[in-house]
Amino acid sequence: MKSEEEILKAIGERLKAIRIEKGYSSYETFALDHDLGRMQYWRLEKGEANLTMRTLIRVLAIHRMTLQEFFSEGFN
């Protein structure tokens, strides 16, 4: 079983990959364009933030992605 830190890091890596896939090379630009705190979003991608479901749902809504879609890859 993965530790909490490993899970948060994997979520952050997935968020970063999706952001880049959507054409945002910079986390700062993504955060500013979507009214997210730059440092908070950076910490999410680094797996250093205590991620809440509300925050994850908000970020996934920006990407027009469901929780099921998000967790379908790489979270076995």
Instruction: List the pLDDT tens digit at each of the 76 positions of the chain.
Output: 889 999 999 999 999 999 999 999 999 999 999 999 999 999 999 999 989 999 999 999 999 999 999 999 766 5
User: What b/e string do you get for 13-49 counting C-beta neighbours within 10 Å, with b at 16 or more?
Assistant: ebbbebbeeeebeebeebbeeeebeeeebbbbbebeb
Residue 57 lies in a domain: yes
Residue 42 lies in a domain: yes
Tell me how far apart the alpha carbons of residues 28 and 51 are, in angstroms, rounded to a whole number: 18
Tell me how far apart the alpha carbons of residues 76 and 71 are, in angstroms, rounded to a whole number: 8
Q: What's this model's pTM, rounded to 2 decimal places?
A: 0.90
Which is nearest to 42 in space by CA: 59, 66, 65, 57?
59
CATH code of residue 59:
1.10.260.40
Residue 29 lies in a domain: yes
Q: Is 18 helix (H, G, I), strand (E, B) or coil?
A: helix
Residue 11 lies in a domain: yes
Domain of 32, in residue numbers:
4-71
What's the structural domain count of the chain? 1
Residue 76 lies in a domain: no
Residue 13 lies in a domain: yes
Residue 9 lies in a domain: yes
